[in-house]
Amino acid sequence: MTGMKTLVALVAMALAACSPPASAPQHEPESQFVTIMSFNVQNLFDNVDDPGKDDKAYLPIAAKQNDAHIAECNTIEVDSWRDECLNLDWSDATIDHKLDVLAATIRQINDGRGADIIAFQEVENAAILNRLRTEKLADLAYRPAILIEGSDVRGIDVAFLSKLPLARDAQLHPLRLPEFPEREGDTRGVLQADFQLADGAILTGFSVHFPAPFHPTAMRIAAYQHLASLADALPDDHHVFAAGDFNTTSVEDARESLLDQFARPHWTLAHDVGCTDCKGTYFYHGDSTWSFLDMILFSEARGAKTTARIRGESVEIANRSPAQRSENGTPERFQSDSGTGVSDHWPIVATLQLTVKQ
């Protein structure tokens, strides 16, 4: 009997070895996470006169005490802009403080590590953005600034800082507005950067700064169409996002349905899938309205080895720094004379999850 029991046990062990247990753990698909921030930094200028650009407001006060500068400033019709041109002291100390508060804002994300990719608006040149990177964010492993000089008359450009390498050289796609030739000097192109992901896939980013709200709605429609055409021209295996200041107010959108007509048919909007209690990134004091002027848009590749989505729980407004908030709880613009504020825009953040297909 003992021999028979031993034989049965041996047979059972052999069968068990040939058949995996029903409860064997399933292999989880591999995922990569990429956090994106969009940040309009409100006039990040150096204090060196840039020939051919209207940056005369952003000079040290000592450089403004001459008849030629005063006469030129006095031609400005808008009172606040004229006063800034005459009296703003854009000193070395002011720039250093500006860089400090921008860095503190960026460090709110990922436990102080910052976003993987930051799309910037209102940056004068690569040099001042690289100062932010090397002087204030040196420990965060950002690569050299990505910025191509555009044709905006003030000299403000769109840009990127990224921890991901570029797959190829960046490109600037000018916004052509033949119907508004007199306004093209107040526009920015779309900056395209193709980022190399860890698995070899490409994530294309577009940093944008659409025409300001005081321009005709048709100019923003043209900008949306321009962006959509650039995305459509990409290879099928590129995931793609657009981040920046789209300058579409809630009032204009309610009236013209711009997002439903020109954004949502092509993109997933980050604040549609998360941050549902957020009021917006910009507060317009003229009519006391909030708007998502700043947005992150995403489109999954039409054909790729990975699936991709925005993680809804990751979408947030990065506004936890007290310096970013006014007494009324609205974005506090940077004030050089008082040393207060950061920017009149709050950054928006979202994380992409890219998962290998099974």
Give the per-residue pLDDT at 12: 46
Residue 195 pLDDT exceeds 90 = yes
pLDDT digits (tens, 9 = 90+) for 223-255: 999 999 999 999 999 999 999 999 999 999 999
Rounded to two decimals, the pTM is 0.90
CA distance 183 to 177: 8
Query: What's the token pair of residue 95?
Result: 């720039």
CA distance 60 to 235: 47
Instruction: Give yes or no for a contact between 38 and 205, defined as CB atoms under 8 angstroms apart.
Output: no
For 267-272, the CB contacts below 8 A with 24+ separation are 267/242, 267/297, 267/298, 267/299, 268/297, 268/298, 268/299, 268/309, 268/310, 269/295, 269/296, 269/297, 270/295, 270/296, 270/297, 270/298, 270/310, 270/315, 270/348, 270/350, 271/295, 271/296, 271/315, 271/348
Residue 326 pLDDT exceeds 60 = yes
pLDDT digits (tens, 9 = 90+) for 11-46: 444 444 444 444 444 555 678 999 999 999 999 999
Query: What's the token pair of residue 301?
Result: 């590749």
The CATH-assigned architecture of domain 31-45+118-356 is 4-Layer Sandwich (3.60)
The owner of tokens 């577009």 is: 206
CA distance 329 to 319: 10
**CA angle, 59 then 63 then 67, to 5°:** 120
For the chain, what's the residue count?
358
Report how far Cα 274 is from the mean position of its chain's Cα atoms: 16
CA distance 252 to 250: 6
Give the per-residue pLDDT at 21: 45
**Among 107, 118, 255, which residue's Cα sits nearest to residue 191?**
118
Give the per-residue pLDDT at 30: 76
